[in-house]
Amino acid sequence: MDTSEIIKKIKEKKSLNQTDNNLVLEKVNNYLKQKKIDITKLNLRSADFKKIIKEVRNELNRIYGCFNLDNKFSLESNSSTKERIKIYPRLYKNIFAITGEPKTIVDLSCGFNPLSYKFIPSKCDYIVSELNKSDCDRLKNYFEREGLNAKVIQIDLSKETNLPSGDVCFLFKILESIEQKGHKIAERIIKTLKCRFIVVSFSTKTLRGNKMKFPRRIWFEVMLKRLGMEYERLDYENELFYIINKEQS
């Protein structure tokens, strides 16, 4: 057996069928190395093969599958942006009341959020990133059709350290998805981002859709305090936003 067979099987899952082969290959190789599995001894019926498929799929779904851009490509077709449809105008108004009107917005791991830029009151330049090349290409085509001045970059936030700069950066519902243990990647991103303000959001619902008893991210607030960064909080029914002022840090 070789890795191409494993990749093919992993991508049979609908939520992952548009994932870049190189991304899947990286996760497979990491798993094989970590678990010290000899790929030449695998077969389609082996327990190790089934476990690889399950666990690599789970990791890819966590970092990519639930955010990928499906064929419908609308705010209504993604759970996060669907939840925000009613609050987008108010959300942007409240964010920019704190940050001031930006000239450049950076939207990292943006998903469907660029479809909401019609609710942004002022004309901005946009720099957006996605993990998957096919999603980047689709976003480029969208911006061209809409006549928006935007740059699309393929970035793996879990590894990239040279992040784009701007006035305001959006990190919507991503920081808890890019790492399983600890918060080292989240801290590295917040510290290295060269933006005047960073807007970080977290869901206030569990994966099953139930309201969290304690939606505030105390770990995040403690981290910001330790880094000497001031912030304001915006609370909505399904999402919690932290607006971090890096100018005063």
List the domain boundaries for the chain. Answer: 3-65, 75-245
Identity at 207, one-letter amino acid code: L
User: What is the CATH topology of the domain spanning 75-245?
Assistant: Rossmann fold (3.40.50)
pLDDT in tens, the chain (249 residues): 889 999 999 999 887 888 889 989 999 999 999 899 988 888 888 889 999 999 999 888 877 655 555 667 788 877 788 889 999 999 999 999 999 999 999 999 998 999 999 999 888 999 999 988 888 999 999 999 999 999 999 999 988 889 999 999 999 999 988 887 889 999 999 999 999 999 999 999 876 778 888 899 999 999 999 999 999 999 999 999 999 999 876
Residue 134 tokens, joined: 């096919």
Distance (Å, whole) CA 93 – CA 123: 14
Closest to 94 measured CA to CA, from 207, 221, 197, 213: 197
Can you give the pLDDT at residue 62? 75
Query: Which residue matches tokens 């099953």?
Result: 208
101 Cβ contact list (under 8 Å, min separation 6):
121, 122
Can you give the pLDDT at residue 16? 85
DSSP lists the bridge partners of residue 50 as: none
Backbone angles phi, psi at 98, to 5 degrees: -90, -45
**Axis-axis angle for helices 47-60, 21-35 (nearest 10):** 130
